[in-house]
Structure 1
Amino acid sequence: MNGPTRTPVAIVGGGPVGLMLALLLDRHGVPSTVFDTAEAPHRTPRGNTHNARTMEHYRRLGIATPIRALGLPGEHPTDIAYFTRYNGHELSRLPLPSRNTRMRRTGRAPATDQTPEPVHRANQMYVERFLAEHVRTRPRITLRLGRTVTGLRQEADRVTLRTEDPAGRVHDVAASYAVGCDGGRSFVRRTLGVHYEGHGSLGQEVLGRRATAAHLRLPTFHRDVMTGTRAWSYWAFNSALAMNLIALNGEDEFFLLTSSADPDRTGPGPLADLVRRAAGTPLPVEVLGHRPWTPGAALVAQRFTFGRVLLAGDAAHLFTPNGGFGMNTGVDDAANLAWKLAGVLHGWGGPGLLASYESERRPIAHRNTTAARELNAALGTVERPAALEEDGPAGTAARERTGDLLRCYGERTHSLGVQLGARYDGSPLVAEDGEPPADSWGTYTPSGVPGGRAPHLWLDSWHGQGSSLFDRFGTGWTLLRLGGRAPDSKPLEAAAQARGMPLTVLDVDLADGRDLYGRDLVLVRPDQHIAWRGDRPPTDPEELMARVTGSVAGTKGAA
């Protein structure tokens, strides 16, 4: 074994969070090496929702458009529909637009539309494959698939990882920093001796039982069974079973999630029989793969930061799947962490910059896991009486009652507040100024109060690539001068230059911009969260820049 290979950042785990961290680091000019035990990206279905904030991060990397082409066909509805059985009674339906309809609406939206990138439904297996292919085009990223990390040793100036390739050869890697993005059973987290805290366990039940996930091919489902309006999510919901079939390609592939089969004993034959029972009719079923499903509940690691080793994604927090918050929270972890690692490695970040990762992201993990757990609990209270499938008045009444409960549950799944409303209030990197809006996981209120995501604004009527305010933000920091009457910003620019901070100055003359942000000057961080705002430069701009880069302790109030 030769001496260790060197890399600025070693990323353990090549799933979507690890790959996104590598791509965001690359955007900031930081090389990284990604290690994953698997020899190829996952080809089995996993998460299905890429929320608005995640799509905004894809947009920053220039990959939102190709990712939108993945998954369902453009005109396929994304409804969530509930049936007694798939050939039986429809209990409830939450109508949701197709990809093309969403984007047409975005193209006609007002200037203050809340996001340039609405939610997109595409299974993680498609997107992970795309991200891995995209990573291979980036010279600063080294992707080591089939490489298992077997040891981790932290020293004063480095982290040394021991890895093993498929042939059993051992390779050591020395990194300035290491990030564990290696999932719920994270080797990195376990090596550090860190446990999850919160509700549930790695074997958390869903709808009262443990769950099974399967990849299915149903060639006649849309033709012979679901002959009406198509959906993205098809629930079979009766006293005997609960099953969700999620359309993957809009044709014959589906992702099955069910609590009605013993995940430790069910094979392809019993699973196929269960699908036929849910369908209410014999149909051809091919089980392409299946696995026990251990989604967790509301679990958050005791710590996220350990010197030069950090945790992100499922290694840091585990979710019940309701709401689709898990992977998306992990991608937002990566966005928060990437610029901080870049700041430290490029020399303009202070000692408090990486420490702020845990203080900012751990409360968000608690917030989002709680929202998912409440959604799961709400679905678990929906009745599934035997009368649901009966003819006559009793059956009609039961279906109406259950349908009403499902409609109420469906309304609760609207989660724009969770998607866009994460705030870092109280962070030492944020200069407080004003009262933030109330936190609601169902509703997002745009606000220029520091700590929150910068509000979105369309800068022209075209609404294409380049016309979003976010498209004009710099790769690093952005200083907004709003309303056409902003005062001289030279003191702030000079303070940033003296510290070596990458800063873009952006003039936005639209009145809507000044109204949204509430001040003439706004300093936006590289992760698009607001660090400071004011109607004039602070009296001590050097102190402000030191604070927002983690070089001094934060103080209350705007400078």
Structure 2
Amino acid sequence: MTSNEMQTDVLVVGAGPVGLTLAMDLAGRGVKVTVAEIRRYAEPPNVKCNHVSARTMEQFRRLGVAQKLRDAGLPEDYPNDVVFRTSVTGIELTRIPIPCRRDRYTETEGPDAWWPTPEPPHRINQLFLEPILLEHAAAQPGVTLLNRTQVTGFTQDDDGVSATLLDLDTGATRTLRCRYLVGCDGGSSGVRKQIGARLEGTAVIQRVQSTYIRAPQLKGLIPGKPAWSYYSVNPRRCGTMFAIDGHDTWLVHNHLNAEEPEFDSVDRDWAIREILGVGADFAYEVITKEDWVGRRLVANRFRDRRVFLAGDAAHLWVPYAGYGMNAGIADAINLSWLLAARVQGWAEEAILDAYEAERQPITEQVSHFAMDHAQKMIKARRAVPPNIEAQDAEGEAARALIGQEAYELNVQQFCCGGLNFGYYYTGSPIIASDEEAPPAYTMGGFTPSTVPGCRAPHFWLADGRSLYDAFGPGYTLLRFDGQADAAPLLAAAQARGLPLALLDVRARGNAVPEAYRHALVLCRADQQVVWRGDRLPAQPQALVEQLRGATAPAALPLAA
């Protein structure tokens, strides 16, 4: 090894929310990780994602950053509601109530307050989110951040990856040697292109003009209770606006129609004023602007040997339900513990096959949820009645109908329990499936289940902890019947170095969900169930070998 080479376990390309989450989780597992980012340290991110899902917040809780995020973003008492109006300053059509962050843990009424989780969703813009993740990641032992650094290429061999790093300020290049490389470098991913993966799907669903503005007078012009998200519905222009700081700054999306195929088909200033419902005398400042295309694209593969893709590098879709960034973070959480298992030495290389086997099918499913919803929204915008603003009985009736339809269509994307808690992994080499099929789910609804591959349903333990707070860093065996013998599985895991914790469940009151019908339920750190039964398999070591990625899935007969 020459003097200009560096060594790390995992090289992460890209320091957005996905790359930073991956780095934090890897470092927390004792893995040395280097993050290469083309931006300067703490350079403000794009004003993109506005929503952190419950599943993501559950993982941020485990990583010790959830409360920092809760304390940031909109003012603590600012309503997180979604409101539909004839314009932002116009007549209200309907409202989806969502608790402010002050009341997020205590509110129990409304479609967004029933979440079966220790960490409900959090509405926060990426402008506030990413700096907190960056600071937290930078403070982790084992994380090295290389800013103004571009990965220009890499080669692989049986032992690792050699990446070429370009210093964008000096022009100097160097080689970094790592065991694995993960491309979290966005939709135009250079990592994806180098491994020859292709994005496949629908290239154009919706064109959008996005404008980040400063308008201190706007809040005072909006009637009624404030909201986090405003949908403007009128025959001239339909669009969306998000409150960024709760005071002066706003993000306005102008949704182009099918007959407007180019971004300059619509005057940006005119569209903004129609969406806001303000005249030519209203003053606002454009902070940044971006034209973008909503797509439904999924990479045909997420891996080439020691190189992986995560986040927008692996999938792009219309960001309904906030599931662009959140799906990427789910990728990172799924991949991190698999990579750590290899670096720590207790798993075989084949355990890494689980990443693509699990995440690619789910990504495909979620992308269709988002695309289907986008198509329904496009259809709804085309159907806005011309008299929706009329101050008469017919106008009032039109507004009532459009409001009802808007609520029914959109409550599922903003209160998306299914996308949070209903998805499951099938066909994974490290999940011991049984005879029961996972229950179906929709964007908004799901059925809690312990079918292997499903998320372990949450409940509160008798000592006040969340179930997930008691999970170990690897696998956790939940024992609901103290008479069930767990010793042979614990011994088999110890013999192979597989991290397995035993949790004798004592719940608060009658808090255990009905889905826990078995005496023993085995879960992983990312909360997915991998096996269940009333007694252990006859050969517990066979289950351990499957969980290590050492053997192919096979039927596991129970002990007599």
Using the size of structure 1 for normalisation, the TM-score is 0.92
Deviating more after overlay: 512-521 vs 249-258: 512-521
1:490 matched to 2:487? The reply is yes
1:498 Cα deviation from its structure 2 partner: 0.9
1:8 matched to 2:9? The reply is yes
Match of 2:92 among 68, 79, 90: 90
2:433 counterpart residue number? 432
Distance in structure 2 (CA, Å) of the matches to 1:459 and 1:525: 18
2:78 counterpart residue number? 76
2:478 counterpart residue number? 480
The 3 A distance-change label for structure 1 pair 401 and 453 is same
Give yes or no for contact 1:212–1:262 (8 Å, CA) kept in 2. no
Distance in structure 1 (CA, Å) of the matches to 2:33 and 2:102: 36
Letter in 2 for 1:46: K
1:29 counterpart residue number? 30
Distance in structure 2 (CA, Å) of the matches to 1:424 and 1:486: 30
Deviating more after overlay: 310-319 vs 417-426: 417-426
Give yes or no for contact 1:41–1:125 (8 Å, CA) kept in 2. no
1:397 Cα deviation from its structure 2 partner: 3.6
Residue by residue over 1:68-91, the C-alpha shift from the partner in whole angstroms, topping out at 9 and shown as x without a partner, is 111111221111112212332222
1:392 Cα deviation from its structure 2 partner: 3.1
Give yes or no for contact 1:48–1:324 (8 Å, CA) kept in 2. yes
Paired residue secondary structure (2:312): helix
Structure 2: which 5+ residue stretches go unaligned? none
The 3 A distance-change label for structure 1 pair 120 and 558 is farther
Deviating more after overlay: 518-527 vs 59-68: 518-527
1:236 matched to 2:232? The reply is yes
- 1:436-455 alignment, distance < 5 Å: 436-455=438-457
1:545 matched to 2:544? The reply is yes
Distance in structure 2 (CA, Å) of the matches to 1:555 and 1:114: 33
Match of 2:361 among 363, 371, 382: 363
Letter in 1 for 2:490: E
Paired residue secondary structure (2:432): coil
Using the size of structure 2 for normalisation, the TM-score is 0.92
2:66 counterpart residue number? 64
Distance in structure 2 (CA, Å) of the matches to 1:205 and 1:212: 14
- 1:22-171 alignment, distance < 5 Å: 22-39=23-40, 40-105=42-107, 114-165=116-167, 166-171=169-174
Paired residue secondary structure (1:443): coil
The 3 A distance-change label for structure 1 pair 41 and 445 is farther
The 3 A distance-change label for structure 1 pair 398 and 291 is same
1:273 Cα deviation from its structure 2 partner: 4.6
1:406 matched to 2:406? The reply is yes
The 3 A distance-change label for structure 1 pair 279 and 214 is closer
1:218 matched to 2:177? The reply is no
Give yes or no for contact 1:205–1:211 (8 Å, CA) kept in 2. no
1:159 Cα deviation from its structure 2 partner: 1.0
1:393 Cα deviation from its structure 2 partner: 4.1
Paired residue secondary structure (1:517): coil
The 3 A distance-change label for structure 1 pair 64 and 507 is same
Runs of 4+ in structure 1 deviating by more than 6 angstroms, as ranges, are none
1:35 Cα deviation from its structure 2 partner: 0.8
Aligned length: 540
Letter in 1 for 2:152: T
Letter in 2 for 1:395: G
Deviating more after overlay: 422-431 vs 136-145: 422-431
Give yes or no for contact 1:474–1:526 (8 Å, CA) kept in 2. yes
Letter in 1 for 2:213: L
Letter in 1 for 2:94: S
1:503 counterpart residue number? 500
1:340 counterpart residue number? 338
Give yes or no for contact 2:45–2:126 (8 Å, CA) kept in 1. no
Paired residue secondary structure (2:424): coil
The 3 A distance-change label for structure 1 pair 461 and 113 is farther
Give yes or no for contact 2:431–2:531 (8 Å, CA) kept in 1. yes
1:395 Cα deviation from its structure 2 partner: 2.8
Distance in structure 2 (CA, Å) of the matches to 1:406 and 1:113: 22
Letter in 2 for 1:60: R
Distance in structure 2 (CA, Å) of the matches to 1:539 and 1:514: 28
Paired residue secondary structure (1:497): helix
Give yes or no for contact 2:353–2:429 (8 Å, CA) kept in 1. no
2:419 counterpart residue number? 418
Give yes or no for contact 1:160–1:172 (8 Å, CA) kept in 2. yes
Distance in structure 2 (CA, Å) of the matches to 1:4 and 1:461: 50
1:436 Cα deviation from its structure 2 partner: 2.2
Residue by residue over 1:43-71, the C-alpha shift from the partner in whole angstroms, topping out at 9 and shown as x without a partner, is 33101111110000001111111111111
Paired residue secondary structure (1:176): strand
Deviating more after overlay: 179-188 vs 345-354: 345-354
Residue by residue over 1:376-435, the C-alpha shift from the partner in whole angstroms, topping out at 9 and shown as x without a partner, is 111111122322233334433432332232122123323211111221122221112333
Paired residue secondary structure (1:437): coil
Match of 1:324 among 316, 322, 325: 322
Give yes or no for contact 1:417–1:439 (8 Å, CA) kept in 2. yes
Deviating more after overlay: 548-557 vs 142-151: 548-557
Give yes or no for contact 1:263–1:293 (8 Å, CA) kept in 2. no
Distance in structure 1 (CA, Å) of the matches to 2:265 and 2:6: 44
Deviating more after overlay: 417-426 vs 299-308: 417-426
The 3 A distance-change label for structure 1 pair 366 and 542 is same
Give yes or no for contact 1:375–1:412 (8 Å, CA) kept in 2. no
1:177 Cα deviation from its structure 2 partner: 0.4
Distance in structure 2 (CA, Å) of the matches to 1:288 and 1:486: 64
Give yes or no for contact 2:73–2:128 (8 Å, CA) kept in 1. yes
1:228 Cα deviation from its structure 2 partner: 1.1
1:500 Cα deviation from its structure 2 partner: 0.7
Residue by residue over 1:348-381, the C-alpha shift from the partner in whole angstroms, topping out at 9 and shown as x without a partner, is 1123200111011101101110111111111111
Match of 2:247 among 242, 247, 251: 251
2:389 counterpart residue number? 389
Give yes or no for contact 2:475–2:500 (8 Å, CA) kept in 1. yes
Distance in structure 2 (CA, Å) of the matches to 1:337 and 1:371: 23
Distance in structure 1 (CA, Å) of the matches to 2:64 and 2:319: 28
Structure 1: which 5+ residue stretches go unaligned? none
Deviating more after overlay: 37-46 vs 242-251: 37-46
Deviating more after overlay: 247-256 vs 440-449: 440-449
Give yes or no for contact 1:241–1:278 (8 Å, CA) kept in 2. yes
- 1:260-299 alignment, distance < 5 Å: 260=256, 264-265=263-264, 271-281=268-278, 282-296=281-295, 298-299=296-297
Identity of aligned residues (%): 39
Distance in structure 2 (CA, Å) of the matches to 1:188 and 1:403: 45
Deviating more after overlay: 61-70 vs 83-92: 83-92
Distance in structure 2 (CA, Å) of the matches to 1:358 and 1:368: 15
1:336 Cα deviation from its structure 2 partner: 0.8
Give yes or no for contact 1:198–1:299 (8 Å, CA) kept in 2. yes
- 1:458-473 alignment, distance < 5 Å: 458-460=460-462, 467-473=465-471
Distance in structure 2 (CA, Å) of the matches to 1:187 and 1:43: 19
Q: Cα RMSD (Å) of the superposition?
A: 2.2
1:515 Cα deviation from its structure 2 partner: 4.3
Give yes or no for contact 2:197–2:302 (8 Å, CA) kept in 1. no
Paired residue secondary structure (2:374): helix
Deviating more after overlay: 348-357 vs 360-369: 348-357
Distance in structure 2 (CA, Å) of the matches to 1:558 and 1:371: 37
The 3 A distance-change label for structure 1 pair 88 and 264 is closer
1:42 Cα deviation from its structure 2 partner: 3.5
